[in-house]
Amino acid sequence: MIRVNLLGGAPRKAKKGPRMPAVSLEGGRSLILLAVVLVGVAGFQYWNYRKLQTQIAQLDQQIASLEREKADLGRVRAEYETFSKQKDLLTKRINIIEGLKAKQSGPVQLLSTVASAVTSTNSLWLVGFAQAGQNVTIEGIALNIKAVADFITRLIDTKAFAGVDLKETFQDVADKEVEKFVFTVNGQLAAPPPTT
């Protein structure tokens, strides 16, 4: 075949530019497989990310719920401490009142006990009575020594005293007409029974 150039110029050669490399069918499959694997990994990572975001949101809700519960328990604890202090204060007040009542009736009972020990005899008189805490000092006059001994025995028998001791006794020689004995008795009060 003959070619005729009607335009009159030299024939041009077609430029050969860079050509796309030819991909074989085997290479195309590999690229497709690589793209599928990348899309699969990206999908898995996205799913894992969403799952972690959901867990974070749930944990944030739990933290907020626990913070609210902690605040509620803090208020309850504060109320408990307030009530506990009030209870302690009231308990102390009650104990003080009961102690005052016991101390109020204690001297009356003690004097009644001592009076009952004296009334059984006509030969003994009390002239002094002093109490300092649990210690009691009784002073008196008796017509004979046996009356003093009987008085001490009756005091011991009342169980109001843990111990009774004769401190001193002597005969009063100032009065010549009547024989008199002046005595002093020290006693330790017994512990009161426990109150419930």
- 3-class state of residue 15 by DSSP: coil
Give pLDDT, residue 108: 73
Please provide residue 5's backbone torsions phi and psi, each rounded to the nearest 5 degrees.
-100, 110
- H-type alpha helices, the chain: 25-119, 145-157
Taking residue 129's Cβ as centre, other Cβ atoms within 10 Å add up to: 14
CATH code: domain 120-189 is 3.30.1360
pTM above 0.75, yes or no: no
Measured distance CA(112)–CA(147) in Å, rounded: 19
Look at residue 68 in the predicted model and tell me its pLDDT.
94
DSSP classification of residue 97? H
Mean pLDDT by 10 residues, the chain (196 residues): 68 61 68 91 95 95 95 94 95 90 71 79 86 86 87 85 83 78 85 61
User: Domain ranges in the chain?
Assistant: 27-111, 120-189
pLDDT score for 10: 61
In whole angstroms, what is the distance from residue 182 CA to residue 115 CA? 18
Distance CA 46, CA 64 (A): 27
Dihedral sign of CA atoms 76, 77, 83, 87 in order: positive
Give the per-residue pLDDT at 179. 82
| 163 beta partners | 188
| C-beta separation of 142 from 124 below 8 A | yes
pLDDT attached to residue 160: 81
**Inter-residue long-range contacts of 149-156, CB under 8 Å, 24+ positions, other chains counted:** 150/120, 150/121, 150/124, 151/117, 151/118, 151/121, 151/124, 151/185, 152/185, 154/116, 154/117, 154/120, 155/113, 155/114, 155/117, 155/185, 155/187
Pairing of strands 161-172, 124-132: unpaired
Report the run of H or E that residue 135 belongs to, with start and end.
strand 135-142
